[in-house]
């Protein structure tokens, strides 16, 4: 699937190759940004263990998002990057 379909499609649009876990990481991160309950995310991913879905999330890498959430929560202290 990757070699026949995904990688040629990515190459055609000038993007680097990646695998299916990248899609899972994107999905978990996007759902968490939308404040979807962790239990529902785990259900959709077919995973019961919280630590598995945590491994797919990239929220810790998204400094701008973390800062916006901190501001929205009214945290007036220093926002760490």
The per-residue pLDDT string of the chain (81 residues; one tens digit each, 9 = 90 and over) reads 778 888 888 889 898 887 778 888 888 888 888 887 787 777 777 766 667 667 777 777 777 877 777 677 566 555 555
Helices in the chain by DSSP H: which ranges?
A: 7-12, 20-33, 38-45, 50-56, 63-72
Quote the pLDDT of residue 12. Answer: 92
Quote the pLDDT of residue 26. Answer: 84
| Tokens describing residue 10 | 């990515």
Spatial neighbors of 28 by CB under 8 A, at least 6 apart, are 41, 45, 53, 56, 57, 58
Quote the pLDDT of residue 52. Answer: 67
Q: Calculate the CA dihedral of residues 6, 12, 14, 15 and round it to 10 degrees.
A: 0
């Amino acid at each position: 699937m990757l070699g026949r379909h995904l990688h040629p499609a990515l190459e055609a649009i000038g993007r680097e190759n990646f695998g299916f876990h990248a899609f899972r990481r994107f999905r978990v991160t996007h759902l968490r940004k939308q404040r979807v309950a962790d239990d529902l995310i785990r259900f959709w991913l077919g995973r019961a263990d919280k630590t598995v879905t945590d491994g797919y999330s990239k929220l810790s890498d998204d400094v701008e998002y973390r800062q916006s959430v901190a501001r929205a929560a009214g945290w007036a202290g220093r926002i760490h990057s």
